[in-house]
Amino acid sequence: MNIQMVDLRTQFEGIKEEVLSGFQSIFESGAFINGPMVKNFCESLSQYLQVAHTIPCANGTDALQAALMALNFSPGDEIITTPFTFIATAEVITLLGLKPVFVDIEPQTFNIDVRKIETAITPKTRCIMPVHLYGQCADMESILAIAEKHNLYVIEDNAQSIGATYTFSDGRKQMAGTMGHIGCTSFYPSKNLGAYGDAGAIFTNDDALAQALHMIVNHGQKEKYTSDVIGINSRLDSFQAVVLHAKLKKLPEYITARQAAAAFYDEAFTNIDALKIPFRSENSTHVFHQYTLITDLNRDDLRAHLSAHNVPSMVYYPFPLHLNKAFAYLNHKKGDFPVSEHMALQTISLPMHTELTPEQLKYISSTIISYCTKK
Ligand SMILES: *Cc1c(COP(=O)(O)O)cnc(C)c1O
């Protein structure tokens, strides 16, 4: 059985005609960058997310960088974020001369622990950057309340949870990436809405921020050859927009397929003591960018067993950011963020994509269970 972490080849079959005919029309029109395809895709995405503005850019890392640039922070300003994420989240903070201030995660959702945010706030804090990890929203109601109380901005890193819905305690629903002042996403091929190359987008409901972001991703230009601010060059090409538009139409279907695969895994593992299945938060749907188990088994040994049976697995992320050499200058040490450190050692992510068949799911779960019940 050929099992992959992410199967983009099979998924392509379902969008092949639309993608190839879209590509053909780009070759014929010559509008390779920021053409009508890009505009159409952004309009559809804004509509899907119920957000006023979608600003396209070249990748998720640029989206985060542009968001920070748009808020006009000063060198040394502090940005609160999580150490249990992909490096990009904190990398752009440092790159802009700002200071990442890590706050540990809570053990059930792997998202920033809102009970620990306020003690990390100083007179230099300007912004909170939560990450909606693995497909589920952070506790946005609490984050927005803390931000309002302390007059802080909120930038959501929504690279992993596009399509997740958050429900506030008054019943109001909003989609991941549209609740903070700015939301950012990545369309890296393996993301839930993935291009066939690099791509990203920025979301906001604020007209002035939208205008600033459009300028920033285009060399700070409002009009051609007149730059008002220092910007970056970060554009979405038309080919990626065609792919993304075709996939956006299927995103609800893709999410349902991921949730069905997760439900299958849940059921298979629910009685296995050595495995803890993913927690479902009360306020957020889960779109399963990753299906991640917590285990106290020897993880390397388990992964070797899986690999020997042709079942791939991954660890997201084996080192929390504060223990990466790149952040050594922050002078953190082991033990500073114990929950993140624990999860870095005890989590394992299973194959998760839109094309998993019942036979594959059965094979993967029985391979895992055979290891767990071996002893
Ligand atoms: C993928 C990812 C990014 C970066 O996106 P790129 O498009 O690869 O630049 C940022 N943050 C998180 C949480 C991610 O998963």
β-pairing, 200-204 with 53-57? antiparallel
Pocket of ligand 1 (CB under 6 A): 59-61, 85-86, 88-89, 131, 157, 159-160, 186, 188, 198, 200
pLDDT digits (tens, 9 = 90+) for 27-47: 999 999 988 999 999 999 999
Tell how far the Cα of 88 is from the centroid of ligand 1, in angstroms. 6
Dihedral pair phi/psi, residue 222, rounded to 5°: -90, -45
Work out the average pLDDT over 22-29: 96
Q: Are 41 and 47 in contact (CB under 8 A)?
A: no
pLDDT digits 0-9 by tens, 334-370: 999 999 999 999 999 999 999 999 999 999 999 999 9
Distance 295 CA to ligand 1 centre (A): 25
Closest to 179 measured CA to CA, from 206, 159, 200: 206
pLDDT digits (tens, 9 = 90+) for 211-270: 999 999 999 998 888 888 999 999 999 999 999 999 999 999 999 999 999 999 999 999
State the distance between the two ends of the chain, measured CA to CA, in whole angstroms. Answer: 26
pLDDT at 104: 98
- Taking 70 as the threshold, does the pLDDT of residue 124 lie above it? yes
- The residue to mutate among 188, 202, 217, having the most atoms of ligand 1 within 8 angstroms of its beta carbon, is 188
Instruction: Give Cα separations from 230 to 182, 209, 332 (angstroms).
Output: 19, 15, 33
Question: In the CATH hierarchy, which fold is given to the domain comprising 8-244?
Answer: Aspartate Aminotransferase; domain 2 (3.40.640)
Q: What are the beta bridge partners of residue 284? A: 166
Strands (E), the chain: 53-57, 78-81, 99-102, 125-129, 153-157, 165-167, 173-175, 182-186, 200-204, 221-223, 226-227, 275-276, 291-295, 347-350
Mean pLDDT of 178-192: 98
Q: Which residue has the tokens 């002035």?
A: 208
Q: What are phi and psi of 5, to 5 degrees?
A: -60, -45
What is the rounded distance in angstroms from the CA atom of residue 2 to the CA atom of residue 4? 7
d(CA 137, CA 131): 8
Give the number of other CB atoms < 10 A from CB of residue 73: 20
The pLDDT value recorded for residue 1 is 83
Per-residue model confidence (pLDDT) at position 375: 62
pLDDT at position 42 is 98
Provide the pLDDT for residue 153.
98
Class of residue 170 by CB neighbours under 10 A (exposed 0-12, middle 13-18, buried 19+): exposed
For residues 265 and 253, what is the distance between their CA atoms, to the nearest angstrom? Answer: 19
Cis peptide before 317 (omega within 30 of 0): yes
Kindly state which CATH superfamily the domain 251-373 is placed in. Answer: Aspartate Aminotransferase, domain 1 (3.90.1150.10)
Can you tell me the distance from the alpha carbon of 354 to that of 9, in angstroms, rounded to the nearest whole number? 11
Note whether 130 and 116 are within 8 A (CB).
no
Between the CA of 129 and the centroid of ligand 1 the distance, in Å, is 13
Q: What are residue 276's DSSP bridge partners?
A: 294
**If you count them, how many residues does the chain have?**
375
Rounded CA separation 65/89 (Å): 9
List the chain domain ranges: 8-244, 251-373
CA distance 117 to 107: 15
Structure tokens at 308: 């020997």
What pLDDT is attached to residue 35? 86
Give pLDDT tens digits for 48-90. Answer: 999 999 999 999 999 999 999 999 999 999 999 999 999 999 9
